[in-house]
Amino acid sequence: MTQKIALVTGAGTGIGKAITRALLDTGFAVAMTGRRRHVLEAAATELGGDTFVSPADIGLAEDVEALFASVAGRYGRLDLLVNNAGMAGPAVPVEDLDVAIWHQVVAANLTGAFLCTRAAFRQMKAQTPQGGRIINNGSISATTPRPHSAPYTATKHAISGLTKSSALDGRPFNIACGQIDIGNAGTEMTSEMGSGVLQADGSKATEPTVDSALIGKAVADMAALPLDANILNMTIMATKMPFVGRG
C-alpha cells in the first residue's frame, strides 16, 4: 500500500480542517471525525480528496471503538492519528468553575486523546507493516497558562505527559508520537483576540494570530518524516504574540 491513512479528530472546523486539507494535499486519505456529522460532511465536500466521515464523541469509549472499527473497515490500516479535538472552558476564576465544566473539558481534551491513542496503539501494533505516528495538539498552554484557564491548562499539561509516555511505549512497535504546541491560530475560536484578551497583569490586549494553513503545513511536515525520526515537540505561534515572557 502506497497511500497513507490518517485520522484527524475535530476535523470539521478550524485547525482540524486546516490539518485535514494539508494532509490531503500531501497524499493522505483522511478519516474525519467530530461530534457533528453535518459539519464534517460540509468540510469533506469543500476539501474534496479521499475523505471518510465518521462522527464520534471521543470522550466516550464506545464511540472511539466504533470510530476505529469504521476506519479499519474502510482502509484496513492507520498510519497517522492527529489528536486535535478539544475545547476551552469559560474564563472564570477557579473558585467559580462549575465541576461539570471541568469534567466536560477533561473528557474532550484529555480522555478523548487517551482513548484515541489507546485505539491507535492497538491498530498500529496489529497491522502489517507494524507502526504509525500520533501527533497531539498540545497548545502553548501545555507550558504556560492564560489567566482563568485551569481546566484547559491542566488538560494541555497532561497532553505533554501523554505524548512522552506514548513516544516511550511506542518504541518497540515502530510507533512515533510527537506534539505541536500552537499559539493563536486564526480560527473561530481565536476571533476574540482582535478585540482584546485578558493578560497576566490584569490588562486586556489584542493579540496577533497566525494563518491556520501554516499549522496544517507544520503537522503535514511532522507526518512526512520516516518512522525512525520524530519531532517530539514543536511550537508554532504568531511571532509577535505575548507568549515569551508571559506572566
Mean pLDDT of 102-112: 96
**Sequence-separated (6 or more) residues with CB below 8 Å from residue 35:** 55, 56, 57
Among candidate residues 144, 152, 167, 185, the one labeled active-site is 152
Q: How does pLDDT run across 157-202, given as a tens digit for each residue?
A: 999 999 999 999 999 999 999 999 998 887 666 666 667 888 888 8
- The pLDDT score that the predictor gives to residue 217 is 97
How far is residue 158 from each of residues 111, 137, 138, 236, measured CA to CA in Å? Answer: 10, 11, 9, 19
Where do the domains of the chain lie, and which CATH numbers do they carry? 5-237 (3.40.50.720)
- Those residues whose C-beta lies under 8 Å from the C-beta of residue 63, and which sit 6 or more positions away, are 56, 57
**What is the pLDDT, as a whole number, of residue 201?**
83
Cα(125)–Cα(120) distance, integer angstroms: 8
CA angle 174, 177, 180 (to 5 degrees): 155
List b or e across 36-62, with b for residues whose CB sees 16 or more CB atoms inside 10 angstroms.
eeebbeebbeebeeebbbbbbbbbeee
Residue 97 pLDDT greater than 80, yes or no: yes
Give residue-wise pLDDT tens across range 15-65. Answer: 999 999 999 999 999 999 999 999 999 999 999 999 999 999 999 999 999
pLDDT in tens, 55-72: 999 999 999 999 999 999
Determine whether 75 is an active site residue. no
Q: Considering the chain, what percentage of its residues have pLDDT values greater than 90? A: 80
3-state SS, residue 93: coil
